[in-house]
Amino acid sequence: MKLGWAAGRVLVHGGKGRVLIGKDTRISGYMFESALEAGLSAAGVDIILLGPMPTPGIAYLTHNLRADAGIVISASHNSFEDNGIKFFSSHGTKLDDDLELAIEAELEQPLTTVAPAELGKARRMDDAQRRYIEFCKSSVDPDLDFSGLRLVVDCAHGAAYQVAPRVFEELGATVECIAVHPDGLNINAGCGATAPDGLRRKVLETRADLGIALDGDGDRLILVDAGGEIVDGDETLYVIAAANPRALNGAVVGTQMSNLGLERALQKLGLVLHRARVGDRYVLEMLQQRQLCLGGEGSGHIINLNLALTGDGIISALQVLGAMRKSGQGLRALLAGMNKFPQKLVNVAMQQRSDAVQQAQIDALVCAVERQLGDRGRILVRPSGTEPLLRVMVEGEDRSLVERLADEVAAQMSALVSKTQQ
């Protein structure tokens, strides 16, 4: 409640002001929604409640409706026990650091309520989903018709469970849906972008042309091709880039974890891969800094600033379908120009995130591996941003070498961590 109050005071500049609130389908969303609504009202801000909506849909509506801010209640791909709150500016973009710091500072102040006559009012918006559906459809070339395409769409029992099937159906595709019966507890449970095995089985069973898996808040996309092979975000990014490389200003943004095979494949298209820190926020920052439009992560966050303000799983899937339709080829054929390098990721546990291993020791291990890999692979060691873990990633042309080196480095790193904790 106090966060809603603080955000309302910081983000609404003069006048009554309006803030949108949307959420995914987890049961705690009701509690968070009511508390945020109360806090915003106490700050004198009007509230528009969107109900279950994908995160990118809330970003779009915040900008489209000229609201002062948008709030998303979601823990994305996490299970129902977790929840979180994300803010969008009036432009539908993530808040800059200064605004976040201002909200944090306001949280330290005593909560005061505006005069009774100035309290904010709340109303529900009945056509929010329809507006976002039309926006998604507008991202597709109007001459394209998806008639004859058979799709399986996995909505993770999440925020896109009503919107996504209608988008693809209204563009002409035949759609079979799975994980579209949320009960507040089953979001992301064995389904969606983080667990696509059920989608894979359904694609093979129904002989579909494509499987589309979204995560709980609809900003992440994992695909399954007609042969039942799972297609990750790096591969999706390549397909979208290859469909129109001349429109990309010479480069694409990935992350430190983006597969080396993506970098090599983009080079053949005349494109450079810039690597941002891991996280869609950092991909977006680099896109804006370098005045580029396309970027993404292997986890399935794809951002195309020519089409949307943030990562959008539905719009990314539509871009892939457009590439399939224009070329007359299936997804596997469109991936023929990219060969993923074998990659292994090993986590090394620490007692706490502040545990330090001497950087010189890490550098020595990394250099030794780099000498063995040469230009046929790479190694990355980085601390997790959310957990007390060191992440060791090795990739290269030789799978057995990659796996052996990753295990060896992880074992050596674990021994170093143990020494620092003694």
Summarize pLDDT for 43-81 with one digit per residue, the tens: 999 999 999 999 999 999 999 999 999 999 999 999 999
- CB of 22 closer than 8 Å to CB of 57: yes
User: Is residue 176 located within the same domain as residue 264?
Assistant: yes
Residue the block writes with tokens 């996490």: 78
Tokens 């600033």 -> residue: 305
Question: CB atoms < 10 A from the CB of 340, how many?
Answer: 18
Alpha-carbon dihedral 385, 298, 168, 225, rounded to 10 degrees: -150
- Identify whether residues 43 and 145 lie together within a single domain: no
In this structure, the answer to whether residues 7 and 39 fall within a common structural domain is yes
At residue 220's C-alpha, the angle toward residues 217 and 221, to 5°, is 125
- Give the integer Cα–Cα distance in Å for 33 and 364: 50
Q: List pLDDT tens digits, range 376-415.
A: 899 998 887 667 788 899 999 999 999 999 999 888 888 8
Structure tokens at 142: 């109007």
Judgement on whether residues 174 and 304 belong to the same structural domain of the protein: yes
- Are residues 178 and 298 located together in one domain of the fold? yes
Give me the number of domains the chain comprises. Answer: 3
User: Do both 317 and 301 map to the same domain?
Assistant: yes
The backbone torsions φ and ψ at residue 374, rounded to the nearest 5 degrees and listed phi first, read 60, -135
pLDDT tens figures, 35-50: 999 999 999 999 999 9
Asked whether residue 156 falls in the same domain as residue 222, the answer is yes
**To 10 degrees, what angle do helices 313-327 and 128-138 make?**
30
Q: Which domain holds residue 284?
A: 131-334
Catalytic residue positions, numbered? 76
Of 309, 334, 359, which residue constitutes the final position of a domain?
334
The angle at the Cα of 36, spanning 61 to 25, to the nearest 5 degrees, equals 65
| Residue 169 pLDDT greater than 60, yes or no | yes
- What CATH number should be reported for the domain holding residue 49? 3.40.120.10
Predicted confidence (pLDDT) per residue in 290-346, tens digit:
999 999 999 999 999 999 989 999 999 999 999 999 999 999 999 999 999 999 999
Q: What is the pLDDT of residues 122-153, one digit of tens each?
A: 999 999 999 999 999 999 999 999 999 999 99
Cβ atoms of residues 199 and 213 within 8 Å: yes
Residues in contact with 35: Cβ distance below 8 Å, sequence separation at least 6, in sequence order? 1, 4
Q: Are 164 and 192 in contact (CB under 8 A)?
A: no
Asked if 279 and 403 sit in the same domain, the reply is no
* Pair 54, 159 in one domain: no
Whether 418 has a pLDDT exceeding 80, the answer reads no
Of 126, 151, 166, the one marking the end of a domain is 126
Residues 384 and 303 in one domain: no
Q: Alpha carbon of 35 to those of 5, 42, 87, 278, 410: distances in Å?
A: 10, 11, 15, 32, 44
Burial annotation 153-179 (CB, 10 A radius, 16+ → b, else e): bbbbbbbbbbbbbbbbeebebbbbbbb
Q: Is 286 helix (H, G, I), strand (E, B) or coil?
A: helix
